[in-house]
Amino acid sequence: MHAETLAVTRVVRAFADCWNAHDMKAFGDLFASDAEFVDVVGLWWNGRAAIRDAHTFTHRTIFKRSRLTLDDMSLRWPAPHVALARCRWTLAGHVASDGTPLPERRGILLNVLRKDGDRWRIIDAQNTDVIPGELSRPP
């Protein structure tokens, strides 16, 4: 595997590894200080601190025992130091805000990464749930 492909793949894999270790300090370090993140319900966080703090809260509550699996990564290079990494994911073991266990769900995550110095970081993430059998949001 090409060295840059390997480096970008490692960062994307680390997204899931930090999630599954519920280590939000390490999770936050994957992002650039000015990164943006839009989650599956359209919460739009600006900056590493906001991304880390939001995930710290959810990993103490609804995602505390959740497990994220990434699959089917598509990788493209719009510029030498910019990568688009899109993967399908499956989330298991999450709960509603009242603690009720929820069924496994799937989605698609886009990460945009940039190499600054010798390190690739996520500069943007947008996440979308997969709702099977629909063309657009159901009524």
Binding site for its own copies (CB under 8 A): 36, 38-44, 57-58, 62-63, 74, 76, 78-82, 84, 86, 94, 96-97, 100, 102, 105-108, 110, 112, 114, 123-124, 126-131, 134-139
d(CA 47, CA 33): 5
DSSP secondary structure of 12-67: HHHHHHHHHHT-HHHHHHTEEEEEEEE-TT--EEESHHHHHHHHHHHTTTTTTT-E
Residue whose CB is less far from its own copies, 23 or 114: 114
d(CA 116, CA 96): 38
- Amino acid identity, position 79: A
Residue whose CB is less far from its own copies, 23 or 124: 124
Smallest gap from Cβ 68 to its own copies, in A, equals 12
Smallest gap from Cβ 112 to its own copies, in A, equals 6
Residue whose CB is less far from its own copies, 14 or 58: 58
Side-chain-side CA neighbours of 122 within 13 Å: the count stands at: 29
d(CA 48, CA 75): 23
d(CA 88, CA 109): 6
Smallest gap from Cβ 78 to its own copies, in A, equals 5
Smallest gap from Cβ 18 to its own copies, in A, equals 17
Residue whose CB is less far from its own copies, 21 or 96: 96
